[in-house]
Structure 1
């Protein structure tokens, strides 16, 4: 059953896509043996490994995984005392080097305060066999040739070989250069036969050279002779080469013995590097299909957002939203042929298997996948001529097996349930099968053409209708999945669009029962209501944006008005104060003159001067001062709570309390900016009646809750720009040096907006579009300051 499900859901084809991302034969073997797990704990473990490898790729671009070799057979042979050849020893040295390099790479990331959990634990098992690697590298070159430095004995032997070869060639080249030699030789060259140096002599001069004939030409006219004068030296050369072969064998045996002392460590290195190569293969594959890590549960809940089938090209696929297992556990999908019903089934099935295999799934962030105890699928026409089974019989044989094994933790996928037989009986059978699976508590998605099943979904608790949308105007499916709306028959509408007479269509409609008409009319009404609701939602969203913009403009205008009013009032006060000061100075001058006059005119009394000055002071105009605004009560530091609206007095800006930073400061959200403000600088304004408080994750050095990528696909332009602003601030606080902004390709408007914002942002050093492996022009990579 399991192998059949993997086949019909095209699991093996998905693995073929994954295979090229493995960098070694070990990783490829691991991919080929990949199977879904049915344990939540195991799936979570594998997903965390894939996510960590993906994190390394996002932050570092790549990982050093070159040099991984399959050394298992060589290690096993060394363990039982066998001798390894030079190529096998070089592979072992390469594997040691690869493991040491990767372990150093991970240690450096940890020192850079990049939070990793899986890789440090895995590389902890790697023993850096530096001495063994050095011993092999000192004895062998990259081509597997044993070096002279491998041993003093080998160096001496090779010196002897070079000396003997030089002597032999010198003597033979003397013969070829002599006048008599040129006459007696077929060609003036020195060559080798039977591993001995010889010269090509004409047959008639055989006796002149003496020595040994090792070969002759096809015509017999040329003999390859080892002259008697070099036989002894050739013998010495041959003996030296024999010693060389023995010494090389001894060196390889010694190296093999060294390897045998580390078989456990080498086996551990092989296992670890295999797992690491597999981890990064999964991460690279996830990046190539723009996948994300799903939330996992074992409650049978599926929430796939903009799910895409990984085997369908991006330009052809239409993302779908699928939910199951929360408000309903069975989903009945209706709609026309070629409308995407089967693709929906296969997408849900394959993405579930991928998630349970530790692979990220091609969905939006925040999607949720369940870990099922078993997955069953009856999809496609598997009619067997050999078994003399009809299409219906073939399907029923498979369904019988499913019903025998289905459990509460199963996912069951039925394609065209009940098809291939009498419609009435087929529909009744389909309803009975769905009831049986539902009673077992399994999660079910079924596709059908039967209108009876549309009513079934309405009349059963826990069952929901869905349909694939069809555009009657273009006579083409849109491939959108609409949950909650059953598919209606489009036969009459399509026929009318194609030119069938109205008379024939009306006659056909008269043949349909009243109940069927009621169902179709109800579905039509639902579709119209849905479209109207979508239009109203879009209109409401536009109005909301416009209202927010207007509100912002009004707030800015009020602020400007308040500032201008305060400026004018202050100017008037300053001017009036100037006049008063001038009047005082003139009055003091007049009083002084009067006192001088008093000296000459004693009739002017002191009390008269005092009265005059008093009258002058009473004549001073009163400057109207603005009434002080009633101040808000500033509660004690212990009474301020997250969500409270406050005013930062030093900058005259309103914001909301996010959290208490320390005993003297609070973190305040001011628009898109967060800042720490001293409590004495805060003025309490109001508190929401109901505040939903959610636990905040404290930022520890490198923030664990800020992702290194922001996905804007599907967002409106204004919302997207606000998200980018906030995300960049969070990423800088998290200490990231590089982040990815996923905006998709589309019309390019969102990409241009993101690029324009990034170029002017204070925390962005430079930007570039993603490479082929990073999402291409659908992603912008930003280097942060």
Structure 2
């Protein structure tokens, strides 16, 4: 793409902003070289990687690669045998250490929550170099000094040096304090010259003081003398310093050799980390400009919603909606100066270049862009002073070059097309240029003041008028782009509000041709209709927001009600199970006692004991039943029939008539006993209503004959399966099951994962496990209930 066009659209400013967002030296260098791509697949890949980086920053926070440096030169020197300096080795360590940070960050993310396939693939390309980084950092501190712990020999040498320096200073301090020498000293201090400890002595005492002179002051009055008593110690110190230098050189040589051995891995990591830093920089820039990653289509369609120019402050920029390339391939924008026409062109061009560079764009979600071979713009004053060309000539020269280079995959932007010359000729030339661009099937946006172009856009298929809205009341532009409405000059309205006499304005109106008047009237009507439509749309949006708020409120209330209903249901389940269990235990105890009495003293089993046992059974019976199951009649005078529930008045117990013995005698089942009772000693209580279900059951009747021990969920989505599981577990609990099996199949494992996450939260699940051998393996989950 043409760099001149990039400058026109201020793309270089975006590149500079991106460079500021990169954290590494190499990332900044790569950002500086960024260019838009014309390959659709490459653009798609860049935008996907940017979207993943925005997700990564949102989920885990930012990842700084500040320690990554350009170590290509250091690696080459290591390979040819040069010894790297401590600073070079620190740069290598910073780059090598970044590999671990990247891997740790991505490994800490759940792949299901954040797949991030591109970033994870980049991390997989990294070679393990953290061991080398740790080795370098253990030998060299952050100031670039080799530490004592780098080797045992270096530690020994430096300990000896410290001890020797202490001895030298002690000897020299003794000389300074000796009254014999105090008058000879210029100052009572110990200093260094040529890496040897010396004392400043007055020049006239040179012979009396003795020792070796290493330096003198500028005036010559002070000599820096090494006393003879420390010469041997200083010589020994110098030997240790040389030994230290050699040991440090040896340590650096070993580290350099290790770097050379991993040079290929380090170079590979540097390339990956640099690319990753650029991707993260794009994500950071996207957050800064509040951008989104647009969709890319293949139809050469631009569809931007609330698009904003990224270089205009957020509190001043006015968003625009633009659609180009589907119903029409060209937009002709008219309107007053300083109304925002040029900004609109630059916004479209710049956002297209940004998207083709893999950058987020400041617009709303669902905005779409296409990939163009070139974005060609003639915007602003392009006259060349060096060539002594007029404004018109400068624009025309640029347009000629554009017409030679464009094809059907180009986006063309013309600002004030045909301006700078005679209006009639300029308008005709502008129409001819637009025709040539449209013949090449380009996407086109152009701004103009000419009425002829408004009429041309109205009549030409594939072209639509647009304008920048102007508020006549405030005499200021609103910067809103209105598609489908040509712009008015508003000259008469502005002149009238500024106070120009009405007769002058009327005279000017008479100078307009009939066509021009009709055009202005048509534009005025369209503008009024547009204003009315916008107001109605704003009202509709307000009503929609109000409806959405009410809908959300109702959803929240419904959720609260469902939660309360579930709480009550759960409480009822628990209470019902306790009642049933209590009744079951009591009945088993009664039956056990009866059997024991029958075995031990069959002859002593009296009727009063049976009555007592039956009373305990009646007390153990749950007091809940379905009212609709039995039709009750309070009248005690009703005739008793077989099947009726009755009260045996002689013993005060309830029973059921099982046979009519004749002669006024009926056989009644009371608990375990069958009694022969006179009809007059019975009081009618109820009669059974025909029902498909068993009679006399309570509301807590076991339903084991309706509930299977397993539930087959295969072929269902997780959202479909969970409500079915919830109901099934309730039924299984009421049926008295302690263990059930959920069959979900193996498949991708998504259904199994969803089922087991649901079981983790279920209050009635004691535990669960995958099926064992012969049970279905990973295709089933065995659930233990509580």
TM-score (norm 2): 0.71
* 1:505 aligns to 2:505 (yes or no): yes
Equivalent residues of 1:666, 1:678 under 8 A apart? no
Shift of 1:200: 1.6
Match of 1:585 in 2: 636
* 1:316 aligns to 2:367 (yes or no): no
Seen in structure 2, the aligned counterparts of structure 1 residues 675 and 491 have a Cα distance that, compared at 3 Å, is farther
Shift of 1:224: 1.3
CA distance in 1, matches of 2:68, 2:82: 22
1:441-520 superposed matches below 5 A: 441-520=441-520
1:588-599 superposed matches below 5 A: none
Aligned partner of residue 200 in structure 2, secondary structure:
strand
The superposition leaves residues 613-656 of structure 1 with CA deviations (integer Å, 9 ceiling, x where unpaired) of 9xxxxxx9xx9xxxxxxxxxxxxxxxxxxxxxxxxxxxxxxxxx
Aligned partner of residue 585 in structure 1, secondary structure:
coil
Shift of 1:151: 3.1
Shift of 1:112: 7.3
Match of 1:6 in 2: 6
CA distance in 1, matches of 2:363, 2:328: 21
Q: CA RMSD in A?
A: 3.9
Shift of 1:699: 11
Equivalent residues of 1:661, 1:667 under 8 A apart? no
Aligned partner of residue 311 in structure 2, secondary structure:
coil
Seen in structure 2, the aligned counterparts of structure 1 residues 221 and 460 have a Cα distance that, compared at 3 Å, is same
Shift of 1:379: 0.1
Aligned partner of residue 467 in structure 1, secondary structure:
strand
CA distance in 2, matches of 1:586, 1:546: 65
1:321-336 superposed matches below 5 A: 321-336=321-336
Match of 2:355 in 1: 355
Match of 1:69 in 2: 69
The superposition leaves residues 414-464 of structure 1 with CA deviations (integer Å, 9 ceiling, x where unpaired) of 000000000011111111100100010110000000011111111111111
* 1:530 aligns to 2:581 (yes or no): no
Shift of 1:297: 2.0
Seen in structure 2, the aligned counterparts of structure 1 residues 244 and 112 have a Cα distance that, compared at 3 Å, is farther
1:681-760 superposed matches below 5 A: none
CA distance in 2, matches of 1:427, 1:209: 102
Match of 1:118 in 2: 118
Shift of 1:476: 0.8
1:108-507 superposed matches below 5 A: 108-110=108-110, 113-507=113-507
Match of 2:28 in 1: 28
- Give the count of matched residue pairs: 613
Between structure 1 and structure 2, the one with the greater Rg is 2
Seen in structure 2, the aligned counterparts of structure 1 residues 503 and 130 have a Cα distance that, compared at 3 Å, is closer
The superposition leaves residues 138-160 of structure 1 with CA deviations (integer Å, 9 ceiling, x where unpaired) of 32222111223333443343334
Shift of 1:518: 1.7
Aligned partner of residue 30 in structure 1, secondary structure:
helix
Match of 1:566 in 2: none
CA distance in 2, matches of 1:428, 1:276: 52
The superposition leaves residues 295-326 of structure 1 with CA deviations (integer Å, 9 ceiling, x where unpaired) of 00232100000000000001110000011000
Shift of 1:386: 1.7
TM-score (norm 1): 0.72
Aligned partner of residue 399 in structure 2, secondary structure:
helix
Seen in structure 2, the aligned counterparts of structure 1 residues 5 and 240 have a Cα distance that, compared at 3 Å, is same
CA distance in 2, matches of 1:374, 1:311: 22
The superposition leaves residues 560-585 of structure 1 with CA deviations (integer Å, 9 ceiling, x where unpaired) of 9xxxxxxxxxxxx989x99x722x21
Seen in structure 2, the aligned counterparts of structure 1 residues 112 and 216 have a Cα distance that, compared at 3 Å, is farther
Match of 2:47 in 1: 47
Shift of 1:539: 5.1
Seen in structure 2, the aligned counterparts of structure 1 residues 136 and 550 have a Cα distance that, compared at 3 Å, is closer
Aligned partner of residue 215 in structure 2, secondary structure:
strand
Seen in structure 2, the aligned counterparts of structure 1 residues 399 and 699 have a Cα distance that, compared at 3 Å, is farther
CA distance in 2, matches of 1:497, 1:390: 35
**Structure 1: any 5+ residue segments left out of the alignment?**
561-572, 593-605, 608-612, 614-619, 624-659, 682-697, 703-731, 734-785
CA distance in 1, matches of 2:497, 2:463: 34
Aligned partner of residue 68 in structure 1, secondary structure:
coil
CA distance in 2, matches of 1:661, 1:51: 36
Aligned partner of residue 478 in structure 2, secondary structure:
strand
Seen in structure 2, the aligned counterparts of structure 1 residues 362 and 261 have a Cα distance that, compared at 3 Å, is same
Shift of 1:78: 1.4
